[in-house]
Chains A and B, each alone.
Chain A
Amino acid sequence: MQPGHDPNACKLYLNKTVIEAAVERIEWIFDTFETISVSVSGGKDSTVLFELAHREAIKRGRKINAFFLDQEAEYAASIEIIHDTMHKELVVPYWYQVPCRMTNATSYEDEWLYAWEPGADWVHPQVDISIKEPLPVDRFYRIMEWVDNNWGPNSCSLVGLRSEESLNRYGTVTRNPAMPGINWSSKTKSGCVKLYPIYDWTFEDIWTFIGTEKLKYNRAYDWMYVKGFNIPEMRVSNLIHEKAYKCLATLQEFEPETYDRIIRRLKGVHIAARYGKSQQVFAARKLPHGFETWKAYRDFLLDTLPIPQERLAVFLRRFERQNKNEGVYRQQVHQLQINDWENNVPVANVEKKKDSLKKWMEIL
């Protein structure tokens, strides 16, 4: 029986707080592994995870690695946090500023954001301590894999993934634990151990820790709070990915200079910022006037989008295999709007509502 699929599995509450449990897990990690790397992003979860691991490192006088894959289109506020992290005592910086290709969800013309492309006018400068030498791979997930594979023997990689943040993802990644009894772990194909010591923290726990311990945190959260964002949904990530077009709508109010640099660097960003809150242009929530059905609109887009034939063929082949109903057509429209030929935001074959709770019940 695969643990993640066990219908009888459930949450067993322990007689300790999340902070006590996380400290114990991290002590165990330091007892068990020689090389410990923490994956940081400048976001709140990795800020907390790094702090916990760093405290243990100080206590034991041991070094830890801080890993950050810099995607160039980042908030200046995130870079500030990363800079602090990388310069802390006993931290070995693994700040990668290497050529990395990502799909640009905001444009049909500029398909790629080629982060750290040689000679380009970068969104923010390279720093002295970063790793700049191009790696043998240049796609985001390949780079992550490559980095994980190169930590060396008896190493582990700590990630601030929380089950509350992404129910499906947590259940999926921990389906096959890396070590017996440690069901907050997973193993990559090449055998790298990944650990999730704060998997049971809620967003309130994260903010309680940051507030109580007076940790320095990403200022973007304060700006989002001022703008009335829903606290549990506040996220800080790089600024150009499939879901980030919503962040672009507010970036101008948070970091006007970053915004200016990004629109100079990449086509489509200004349009995404203008229509990021609209129900139509990128979000496919409201059918435009002049179309009776999502199918009609989808077919119109397929006929008229300014994308190369081979990309169009990818969409056509994929759509051919999917169910034929309006819910599916609507999602296909969204894929076309964000030029998602890579299928980063997959189409769910049936319209699902309130399904994630059910799925979570199955996982736990």
Chain B
Amino acid sequence: MTKILFPCMAPRLVPTEKIIANDYNPNYVATPEMELLARSIENNGLVYAITVFYDAGQDIYIVVDGFHRFVLLRDKFKCREIPVVIIDKDMKERMAATIEMNRARGTHIVDLMSALVVKLIKLGWTDIDIAKELGMEAEEVLRLKQMTGLAGLFAGQPYSKAWERYEPEKHGE
């Protein structure tokens, strides 16, 4: 069996100005998700430390995973110190770790997402609460809670007129 290390058990607080971004991360977080991340940090605090590599020569910490959390803590929440977890890897391993940590995540199944929204409504949240807390647009909430399905929207509408292809040349042949 591979021996699993627990670097997460040894987080430490380091001065914010000693932490820098890496220069290779292709991950991009859109504005609504950035706002959701900020809200999550406000509501729950920071529950995962930032994963970094320590460059002893320059005495700096380079972000491996958690760049967007780091940016929020530094720029929005103005933290002077930030908790980090250090991994000691070479450059290629760090690059690989960044991608692994970004990619190894699931997707939300639409049906279950819809069920979750309905449960939240039953627990007393309004559409607006849900939109705000889950980082959704009002329309997304509306679509998720609509239990009638697509066909329900069209039921009872009038039908359009039938038509035939009419060819003047052929007429009177």
A and B interact physically: yes
Residue positions of A touching B, CB distance < 8 A: 1, 3, 6, 8-22, 174, 183, 200-202, 204-205, 207-212, 214-215, 217, 221-223, 225-228, 231, 252-254, 256, 364
- Whether B161 contacts A207 by the Cβ 8 Å rule is no
- Whether B165 contacts A222 by the Cβ 8 Å rule is no
Question: What's the least CB distance linking A168 to chain B, in Å?
Answer: 15
A-B contact count (CB 8 A): 124
Once the chains are docked, how many angstroms separate the CA of A308 from the CA of B159? Answer: 53
**Does any Cβ of A come within 8 Å of B29's Cβ?**
no
Contact of B166 among A9, A228, A231 (CB under 8 A): A9
Of all chain B residues, the one with the shortest Cβ separation from A250 is B110
**Does any Cβ of A come within 8 Å of B108's Cβ?**
yes
Q: Which residues of A contact B162 (CB under 8 A)?
A: 13-14, 16-18, 20-22, 200
- Whether B159 contacts A14 by the Cβ 8 Å rule is no
Q: Which residues of B contact A19 (CB under 8 A)?
A: 159
- Whether B161 contacts A253 by the Cβ 8 Å rule is no
Contact of A222 among B150, B161, B170 (CB under 8 A): B150
A253 touching B140 in the complex, CB below 8 Å, given contacts A12-B163, A17-B160, A211-B151: no
Q: Which residues of B contact A252 (CB under 8 A)?
A: 107
- Whether A205 contacts B167 by the Cβ 8 Å rule is no
Question: What's the least CB distance linking A179 to chain B, in Å?
Answer: 14
- Whether A204 contacts B154 by the Cβ 8 Å rule is yes
Those of B155-173 within 8 Å (CB) of chain A = 155-170
18 contacts between A and B (CB under 8 A): A1-B169, A3-B167, A9-B168, A10-B166, A15-B161, A16-B162, A183-B165, A200-B162, A201-B160, A204-B157, A208-B157, A212-B155, A221-B150, A225-B149, A226-B113, A226-B143, A228-B143, A231-B150
**Does any Cβ of A come within 8 Å of B139's Cβ?**
yes
- Whether A223 contacts B111 by the Cβ 8 Å rule is yes
Question: What's the least CB distance linking B123 to chain A, in Å?
Answer: 21
Contact of B153 among A6, A18, A200, A211 (CB under 8 A): A211
**Does any Cβ of A come within 8 Å of B34's Cβ?**
no
Of all chain B residues, the one with the shortest Cβ separation from A21 is B162
Count of B interface residues, CB-CB < 8 Å: 34
Question: What's the least CB distance linking B158 to chain A, in Å?
Answer: 8
- Whether A200 contacts B163 by the Cβ 8 Å rule is yes
- Whether A256 contacts B170 by the Cβ 8 Å rule is no
Of all chain A residues, the one with the shortest Cβ separation from B166 is A12
- Whether B164 contacts A183 by the Cβ 8 Å rule is yes
Q: Which residues of A contact B170 (CB under 8 A)?
A: 1, 3, 6
**Does any Cβ of A come within 8 Å of B144's Cβ?**
yes
Once the chains are docked, how many angstroms separate the CA of A3 from the CA of B165? Answer: 9
- Whether A11 contacts B151 by the Cβ 8 Å rule is no
Of all chain B residues, the one with the shortest Cβ separation from A215 is B151
A18 touching B159 in the complex, CB below 8 Å, given contacts A210-B151, A253-B107: yes
Contact of B160 among A9, A10, A18, A256 (CB under 8 A): A18
- Whether A17 contacts B166 by the Cβ 8 Å rule is no
- Whether A208 contacts B143 by the Cβ 8 Å rule is no
**Does any Cβ of A come within 8 Å of B5's Cβ?**
no
Contact of B154 among A1, A211, A222 (CB under 8 A): A211
Of all chain A residues, the one with the shortest Cβ separation from B169 is A1
Q: Which residues of B contact A223 (CB under 8 A)?
A: 110-111
Once the chains are docked, how many angstroms separate the CA of A200 from the CA of B159? Answer: 11
**Does any Cβ of A come within 8 Å of B45's Cβ?**
no
Of all chain B residues, the one with the shortest Cβ separation from A20 is B162
Contact with A along B48-79 (1 / 0, CB 8 A): 00000000000000000000000000000000
- Whether B110 contacts A253 by the Cβ 8 Å rule is yes
**Does any Cβ of A come within 8 Å of B109's Cβ?**
yes
Of all chain A residues, the one with the shortest Cβ separation from B152 is A211
Those of B91-120 within 8 Å (CB) of chain A = 107-111, 113-114
Question: What's the least CB distance linking B145 to chain A, in Å?
Answer: 10
Q: Which residues of B contact A200 (CB under 8 A)?
A: 162-164
Once the chains are docked, how many angstroms separate the CA of A207 from the CA of B153? Answer: 8
- Whether A253 contacts B156 by the Cβ 8 Å rule is no
Of all chain B residues, the one with the shortest Cβ separation from A226 is B143
Once the chains are docked, how many angstroms separate the CA of A364 from the CA of B168? Answer: 11
Question: What's the least CB distance linking B167 to chain A, in Å?
Answer: 4
Question: What's the least CB distance linking B125 to chain A, in Å?
Answer: 19
- Whether B169 contacts A6 by the Cβ 8 Å rule is yes
Q: Which residues of A contact B154 (CB under 8 A)?
A: 204, 207-208, 210-212
- Minimum-distance CB pairs A-B, first 4: A211-B155, A21-B162, A12-B166, A207-B154
Additional A-B contacts beyond A15-B161, A212-B155 (7; CB < 8 A): A14-B163, A14-B164, A18-B162, A208-B159, A211-B156, A214-B155, A253-B110
Q: Which residues of A contact B165 (CB under 8 A)?
A: 3, 9-12, 174, 183, 364
- Whether B150 contacts A256 by the Cβ 8 Å rule is no
Contact of A256 among B109, B146, B156 (CB under 8 A): B109
